[in-house]
C-alpha cells in the first residue's frame, strides 16, 4: 500500500491550527511565524501590575456602583471592591466574614423579626380561616408566598457570591483588554443616570405596590407593610441589575462590530480579526456567567412570580364571578400586573442581548465580501462564524432554563392551564351551591304549603 495515501493518515488536531497560523501571519511586514506569540492572538496579557489600570478603565463598575452599594446596604449581595492600591487582577471579591457580609447578616436578622411576625399572623389567619371559603383563605397564601424570597436569600444569593465576583471581574478585565486591542474604551451612554434612576425607582415602586395593598385589601394592616418593602425593592433591584447588564452586553457588541468593520477595511486584517474573535468569545462567556452567578436567585424569582400570579388571578376571577369587581380584586390585579411586568422585562432584555451579540453580529460577518479579502482573512471570518455557532450567547440559569421570550410565553401557557383547572372547580362549586339553594327554597315552599294545608284542614274539621 502507498505510504503517502492521505486517506489513511492519522488526524492531527494541531495541523489545521498550524496551517491557519502560517496563512495568518504570512506577509505581515515580512515577519516569520516564529516572531508571533500566542499573546498576539489572544490579546495583551493582564497581570497583577495592571491593578490600577483595571480600576481606571472599569467604566462599567464606575457607572453602576450605585446599584452595587444599594445591594450592600440592603444585604442582598455583599461583594466588595479591593483598594485601588492592591496589586491584583481580582478587583471584586467575596468573603463570608468580610465587613459587607457581616453587615448583611445583621440586616437580614433584623428584617427576619418583622417578617416572621407578619408570617406567623398570616399563618394563624390561614389556620383559623380553614372553615371559611377557599377564596377567603387564599389571600393569606398570596402574601405568604411573597415572604419566601427573604428566607431564601442566604441560599439563593449569598451562596453564589464567589460566582458573582467572577462575573464582575470578567467585566473589569474585558474592558481593559478591549481598550488595548481596539485602542478605544467601551462607552456606556447615560448608564450612570440610568442606574441611579433605577435605584430610586426600585424603592418608590416598592412603596407604591405595598401601600396599594394596604388600601385595597381589607385585612392588610399598615404594620404588615414593613415586612414587604425590602422584599419588593430587592425584586426590583434584581430586575434593574438584569436590565443594566443586558444593555451593557448590547453596547459592547455594537462597539466591537464597528471596530470589526474598520479592521476589515485595513490591509491584512487577519490578526486583528483573530483578536476580535477572542473578544467576542469573552463577551459570550460573560453572558453565560451572568446566568450562572444569579441562577438560584432568578430561578426562585421566576417560581415565586409564577405561583403568586396564578393564585392572584384565580382569587380575583373567582371573587368577580361571585360578588363582582371590588377594591380587593383591584389589589390582586395590581400584584398580577407587577409580577408579569418584571418577568417580561427579564425575558425580553435577555432576548435582545442574545440577538445583538449573536444573530446580528453573525449577520455582519455573513455580509462580508469574501472576494475582496485575502485567504487568511477569509479563513479567520470562517473561524469567527464557527466560534459564534459553538459559543451561543444565551442566558442560561446554570442548566435549569434559558431566559428568553419563550420562557415568558411558556409561563403564560402554564398559568392558563392551571387557571382553567381551578376555574372548573370553582364553577362546579358554584353549580353545587346553586343546586343546594334551589333545593332549600323548594323544600321551604313545599313545607310551607303542607303546613298551610294542614292548618286549613283542621279549621274545616272543627266546623
At 30-56, the pLDDT tens digits run: 444 344 445 555 566 777 777 778 888
Q: State the pLDDT at residue 88.
A: 82
User: Could you give the residue ranges of the DSSP H alpha helices within 266-326?
Assistant: 270-293, 295-323
DSSP conformation class of 357: I
pLDDT in tens, the chain (463 residues): 444 443 333 334 344 444 444 444 444 444 443 444 455 555 667 777 777 788 888 899 999 999 999 999 999 999 998 888 778 888 899 999 999 999 999 999 999 999 999 988 888 877 775 555 656 677 778 888 889 899 989 988 899 999 999 999 999 999 999 998 888 889 898 899 999 999 999 999 999 999 998 888 877 888 888 999 999 999 999 999 999 999 999 999 998 988 888 887 776 678 888 888 889 999 999 999 998 888 888 888 888 888 888 888 888 887 777 777 777 888 888 999 999 999 999 999 999 999 999 888 888 888 877 777 778 888 888 888 888 888 888 888 888 888 989 999 998 888 888 888 877 777 776 666 555 565 666 565 666 666 555 555 544 444 4
Could you tell me which residues come within 8 angstroms of residue 399 by beta carbon, excluding any fewer than 6 positions away?
none
Q: State the pLDDT at residue 439.
A: 62
Residue identified by cell 372548573 is: 424
Distance CA 120, CA 142 (A): 14
Distance CA 48, CA 114 (A): 46
Of 345, 140, 336, nearest in space to 236 by CA: 345
Q: State the pLDDT at residue 228.
A: 93
Around Cβ 357, how many Cβ atoms within 10 Å?
27
Q: State the pLDDT at residue 24.
A: 46
Distance of CA 32 to the CA centre of its chain: 48
pTM, rounded to two decimals = 0.82
Q: State the pLDDT at residue 455.
A: 52
Q: State the pLDDT at residue 76.
A: 92
Of 295, 299, 289, nearest in space to 149 by CA: 299
Around Cβ 5, how many Cβ atoms within 10 Å?
8
Q: State the pLDDT at residue 380.
A: 84
Backbone φ and ψ for 331, nearest 5 degrees, come out as: -65, -40
Beta-sheet pairing, 80-81 with 92-93: antiparallel
Distance CA 259, CA 181 (A): 10
Whether 321 and 133 have beta carbons less than 8 Å apart is answered as no
Coil, helix or strand at residue 325? coil
Q: State the pLDDT at residue 19.
A: 47
Amino acid at each position: 500500500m502507498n505510504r503517502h495515501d492521505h486517506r489513511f493518515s492519522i488526524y492531527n488536531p494541531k495541523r489545521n491550527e498550524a496551517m491557519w497560523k502560517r496563512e495568518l501571519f504570512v506577509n505581515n511586514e515580512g515577519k516569520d511565524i516564529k516572531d508571533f506569540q500566542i499573546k498576539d492572538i489572544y490579546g495583551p496579557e493582564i497581570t497583577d501590575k495592571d491593578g490600577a489600570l483595571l480600576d481606571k478603565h472599569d467604566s462599567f463598575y464606575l457607572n453602576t456602583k450605585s446599584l452595587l452599594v444599594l445591594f450592600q446596604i440592603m444585604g442582598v449581595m455583599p461583594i466588595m471592591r479591593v483598594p485601588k492600591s492592591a496589586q491584583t487582577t481580582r478587583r471584586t471579591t467575596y468573603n463570608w466574614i468580610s465587613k459587607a457580609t457581616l453587615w448583611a447578616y445583621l440586616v437580614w436578622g433584623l428584617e427576619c423579626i418583622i417578617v416572621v411576625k407578619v408570617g406567623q399572623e398570616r399563618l394563624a389567619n390561614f389556620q383559623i380561616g380553614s372553615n371559611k371559603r377557599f377564596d377567603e383563605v387564599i389571600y393569606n397564601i398570596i402574601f405568604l408566598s411573597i415572604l419566601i424570597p427573604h428566607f431564601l436569600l442566604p441560599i439563593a444569593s449569598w451562596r453564589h457570591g464567589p460566582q458573582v465576583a467572577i462575573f464582575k471581574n470578567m467585566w473589569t478585565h474585558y474592558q481593559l483588554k478591549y481598550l488595548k486591542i481596539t485602542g478605544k474604551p467601551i462607552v456606556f451612554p447615560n448608564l450612570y443616570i440610568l442606574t441611579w434612576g433605577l435605584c430610586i425607582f426600585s424603592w418608590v415602586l416598592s412603596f407604591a405596590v405595598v401601600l396599594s395593598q394596604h388600601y385595597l385589601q381589607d385585612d392588610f394592616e399598615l404594620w404588615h407593610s414593613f415586612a414587604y418593602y425590602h422584599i419588593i425593592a430587592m425584586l426590583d433591584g434584581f430586575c434593574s441589575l438584569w436590565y443594566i447588564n443586558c444593555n451593557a452586553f448590547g453596547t459592547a457588541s455594537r462597539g466591537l462590530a464597528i471596530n470589526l468593520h474598520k479592521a476589515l477595511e485595513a490591509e491584512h486584517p487577519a490578526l486583528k480579526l483573530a483578536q476580535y474573535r477572542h473578544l467576542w468569545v469573552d463577551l459570550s462567556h460573560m453572558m453565560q456567567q451572568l446566568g450562572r452567578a444569579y441562577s438560584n436567585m432568578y430561578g426562585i424569582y421566576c417560581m415565586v412570580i409564577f405561583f403568586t400570579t396564578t393564585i392572584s388571578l384565580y382569587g380575583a376571577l373567582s371573587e368577580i364571578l361571585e360578588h363582582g369587581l371590588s377594591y380587593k380584586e383591584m389589589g390582586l390585579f395590581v400584584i398580577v400586573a407587577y409580577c408579569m411586568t418584571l418577568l417580561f422585562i427579564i425575558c425580553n432584555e435577555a432576548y435582545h442581548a442574545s440577538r445583538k451579540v449573536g444573530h446580528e453580529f453573525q449577520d455582519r460577518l455573513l455580509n462580508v465580501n469574501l472576494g475582496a479579502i485575502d485567504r487568511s482573512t477569509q479563513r479567520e471570518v470562517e473561524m469567527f462564524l464557527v466560534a459564534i455557532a459553538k459559543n451561543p450567547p444565551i442566558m442560561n440559569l446554570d442548566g435549569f432554563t434559558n431566559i428568553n421570550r419563550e420562557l415568558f410565553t411558556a409561563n403564560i401557557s402554564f398559568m392558563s392551564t392551571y387557571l382553567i383547572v381551578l376555574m372548573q372547580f370553582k364553577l362546579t362549586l358554584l353549580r353545587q351551591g346553586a343546586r343546594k339553594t334551589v333545593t332549600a327554597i323548594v323544600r321551604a315552599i313545599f313545607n310551607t304549603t303542607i303546613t298551610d294545608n294542614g292548618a286549613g284542614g283542621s279549621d274545616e274539621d272543627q266546623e
